[in-house]
A and B are shown apart, each in its own frame.
Chain A
Amino acid sequence: MSGKQSGIMTAVWDFFCSLKLSIFTLICLAVTSIIGTVIQQNLTRNEYLNVFSEKTYAILDALQFFDMYHSWWFVGLLMLFCLNLICCSIKRLPRVWRVVKNPMMTPSDAALQGFSNADVCRVKGQVSDLAARMETFLAQNFTVARRNQTEDGIYLYAEKASYARFGVYVTHLSILIIFLGAIIGNIYGYKGFVQIPEGGSVDQAWLRSGGTIDLGFSVRCDDFSVSFYDNSQRPKEYRSLLTVEDQGQVIVEKRPVIVNDPLTYKGITFYQSSYGPAGGEVMTIKAKVRDADKTQALVLHRGEQGLLPDGSRVQVADFTPSFRNFGPAARLQVKPPEGESYVVTVFQNFPDFDNQRNGELIFSLVDFDQLYYTGLQVTRDPGVWVVWVGCTLMVLGCLVAFFLSHRRLWVVLKEEEGKVRISLVGSAHRNQPAFELYFDSLKEKFRQELA
């Protein structure tokens, strides 16, 4: 490789390692992200044409502004961000690793002079005695020190929280892990939905991206209900009772699934997300024989025919949950075994209404049950745990990076003109002002100790 080429390579490498690139990428990500919050994403062409002209639409579409978070340029920015993270970690991590793994136990005088927190005392006595005293001093006021002897003298070295230097890299790694989790979820997971009418079951889900997928088991909705807070339209709870059957075996039976409490089976999770009328009600009709103690109850769908003991056939011809202001009402078609058929109207709120007809049979509407379908979000995401691991690492990494610092102390004892020269040197890898305060008070104790 020629010198010129390697020069270019170094320049490119430095570019991808640089902090300026990080700041630039972060600001670009922040600014471009705004676009997708102002322009609604993933609408249909016609919905956009209601807002934009043909020409504007064509330009915005070409720029992929309608699905910008998945556009080539936004994904490109994210990749540049990751590349920057990886490069600057590769560049800096080995050096940090060396500092932590192979600490400077016996630094040269020049190296020691490079630290701004330092103090020196000259005292009479034996080097080894003083070294032992300083070892106790460090153990009492800081932490246990390691001792090294060279021709020059005795070096004591103590350090705290050396791992704090890795906080930044853990935070950077956590971002890559979160991206990895998201990619796993995108490749091996899916998002879909099902709509199950009460009493019905499904073994397939509709994918949001189109098409269907086999669940490999079946889910039945035994019941769906919605409840409201007293005297208000404010919903209190949406609840589906779900039963899971796998190869003819009931695995989960009538498990209530509400919002914020999903059901998971074989890595597939079902979330309560919507509901609606399934287009059918079940009515409970009572027929009483006049002047007798005989009552018969029938449970009928709309249009379904029921048989009474006297041979009459009853059919719900029509039903409404609210007829004007009178509440639930049904129209029944009654066909006696002999004679003309007739129509009866019954109200749930007025059970005696049909009594006034003076017929042989008195009908009433006891209750009705609206049939609903429940709408469930169906998600399979094997990457989600990776994302949570990344998130945990991010918070821990941030805390370590911001609030802990790698603090080092050296005590060097050297014989000098009949005395022992003891120097105390300290260094912190961050938060210098706080360390200066700490070192100043330590310096006081150090002088008292040797006084």
Chain B
Amino acid sequence: MTSGQLFNLVTLGYFASMVLFVAFLATHSRTVAMLATILAYLGFAVQTVAIGLRWYETYQVPGGMGYAPLSNLYESVVFFSWTILLIFLLIDLKYRQKSVGAFVLPFAFLAMTWAQLRLDSSIAPLVPALQSNWLTYHVITCFLGYAAFAVACGVSIMYLIKVRKESHGEDNPAGGLVGLFPSAKILDDLNYKAIMIGFPLLSLGIITGAAWANYAWGTYWSWDPKETWSLIVWFIYAAFLHARFTRGWAGRRAAVLSIIGFGATIFCYLGVNLLLAGLHSYGAGG
């Protein structure tokens, strides 16, 4: 069994879980929701094992010295989907809002599919710039932050759908796809909670990145596109956090800001590497 095969299983598991979460919205069946959650847990467990296995495999390649599997685009995308599941399961444990799964699992499934089908999964030993413990701290904090923002984005989409339905049709009975959504108030609160988790993690991600840059290159901040975009993301969520306390900015505008924030996060993560040039160029392709 290789880690690649296990990751394929994980992808299938997340796909099934996603379909079941959507089916839950349609059928309102508790059993379906339970199955979807169990599959999400199973997928997460297998993915954890697979990441461990890949770590082991990095020691097995000829000339390899072993490294935490967080060094190229493939590994980071896989780790990203793992962190999305982690944050989702934590929020599920605390708030038990099953319908959220239908809007969060797709992110994890898409990430895994893209990684497995389109990205280069070969194990390559680390170039000198990446040989640093800061790499591990930096990647883990950043991606936990990104995952929290992904959950916030999913919840914000739910919020917008919910509010729209509520304002449009009074004839809309408790049924329908939206019937099982948490109330707008809870969704707004979940959005805020997820960003509350994500923001300190993003800050820590930027700080560990700066510390590493200072250690490797002698500059903690050089306005390269990756750094700048991470700061843009930080500005957006800082605006979000302050918007919460301002009249007229909670609710709809906050949800929109959260979605824009996640869009910027994805651009910071992928767009910068694929479209712009900069210090993080080794993160692209692989």
Q: Are A271 and B128 in contact (CB under 8 A)?
A: no
Q: Which chain A residues lie closer than 8 Å to B221 at the CB level?
A: 182
Q: Are B249 and A30 in contact (CB under 8 A)?
A: no
Q: Are A23 and B246 in contact (CB under 8 A)?
A: yes
Is A161 interfacial (CB 8 A cutoff)?
no
Q: Which chain A residues lie closer than 8 Å to B277 at the CB level?
A: 40
A37 partner, pick from B62, B229, B235, B239, beta carbons under 8 A? B229
CB under 8 Å from chain B, chain A span 11-60: 19-20, 22-23, 26-27, 29-30, 33-34, 36-38, 40-41
Q: Are A377 and B239 in contact (CB under 8 A)?
A: no
Q: Are A260 and B246 in contact (CB under 8 A)?
A: no
Q: Which chain A residues lie closer than 8 Å to B60 at the CB level?
A: none
Is A202 interfacial (CB 8 A cutoff)?
no
Q: How far is the CB of A327 from chain B (nearest CB, A)?
A: 23
**A395-B203 contact, Cβ under 8 Å, with A235-B128, A402-B196:** yes
Number of A-B pairs, beta carbon distance below 8 Å: 112
Q: Are B203 and A398 in contact (CB under 8 A)?
A: yes
Q: Which residue of A lies closest to B226 (CB)?
A: A37
Q: Are A38 and B276 in contact (CB under 8 A)?
A: yes
Q: Are A19 and B62 in contact (CB under 8 A)?
A: no
CB under 8 Å from chain A, chain B span 178-207: 189, 196, 199-200, 203-204, 207
Q: Are B131 and A234 in contact (CB under 8 A)?
A: no
Q: Are B216 and A271 in contact (CB under 8 A)?
A: yes
Q: How far is the CB of A232 from chain B (nearest CB, A)?
A: 8
Is A388 interfacial (CB 8 A cutoff)?
yes
Q: Are A259 and B216 in contact (CB under 8 A)?
A: yes
Q: Are B219 and A26 in contact (CB under 8 A)?
A: no
Q: Which residue of A lies closest to B129 (CB)?
A: A259
Q: Are A379 and B242 in contact (CB under 8 A)?
A: no
Q: Which chain B residues lie closer than 8 Å to A234 at the CB level?
A: 124-125, 127
Closest 8 CB pairs of A and B: A379-B218, A30-B235, A230-B63, A259-B128, A26-B239, A37-B225, A398-B200, A260-B132
Known: A23-B246, A30-B239, A229-B63. 19 other contacts (CB 8 A): A22-B239, A22-B242, A23-B249, A26-B239, A27-B235, A30-B264, A33-B228, A37-B228, A38-B276, A230-B62, A234-B127, A236-B127, A236-B128, A262-B215, A269-B218, A271-B216, A273-B217, A273-B218, A377-B217
* Residues in chain A within 8 A of chain B (CB atoms): 19-20, 22-23, 26-27, 29-30, 33-34, 36-38, 40-41, 69, 182, 191, 229-232, 234-238, 258-260, 262, 269, 271-273, 377-379, 381, 384, 387-388, 391, 394-395, 398-399, 402-403, 433
